[in-house]
Amino acid sequence: MKILVDPDSVPTTLDECLGNIKQFLDAEDIKQITAYNKNPFLTEKIGAAVFLKAAWSLTDVESLLVKWFKSQYGIDDGDQISSTVLHCLYCDVKENPRKIKEFVSSLNKGKKRKKKVEKEEEE
């Protein structure tokens, strides 16, 4: 299963992100994605999320796409943005509701827990 994007077209909204990725999915990719019970993109440690973060400069808080995600969902972290895009891609392919706000909320809770653990380890 591959995740590719058009290098000449940097999206500025979630729907543009998904359209950019979907244009490269073939029937075999869709078949592989739908075969999973859980989102395979979010369980891998390296891969699609890291690729999207680099391809779309998701670490640049001044990019139009990062600003869009900040205004729409309150996130400007490249990992959270790429995870949200991949969550929505998986939902769309599986024909499930996206539930983006709930997904972003779960990402924020995980980030807060991680910071708390890191702070306790420093003390």
**pLDDT for residue 117 is more than 80:** no
Q: Which residue type occupies 56?
A: W
Q: What is the pLDDT of residues 21-36, one digit of tens each?
A: 999 999 999 999 999 8
Q: What is the pLDDT of residue 47?
A: 83
Instruction: Name the DSSP letter for residue 5.
Output: -
Q: What is the pLDDT of residue 109?
A: 79
Q: Where are the alpha helices (DSSP H) in 1-123?
A: 14-22, 27-35, 40-43, 48-55, 64-73, 78-94, 100-122
Measured CA to CA, the distance from residue 28 to residue 76 in angstroms comes to 33
By C-alpha distance, which of 6, 33, 8 is closest to 20?
Answer: 6
Measured CA to CA, the distance from residue 91 to residue 95 in angstroms comes to 6
Q: What is the pLDDT of residues 53-97, one digit of tens each?
A: 999 999 999 999 999 999 999 999 999 999 999 999 999 999 999
**pLDDT for residue 107 is more than 80:** yes
Q: How many CA atoms lie within 13 A of 102 on its CB side?
A: 4
**pLDDT for residue 110 is more than 80:** no
Q: What is the pLDDT of residues 33-52, one digit of tens each?
A: 999 888 888 766 558 888 99
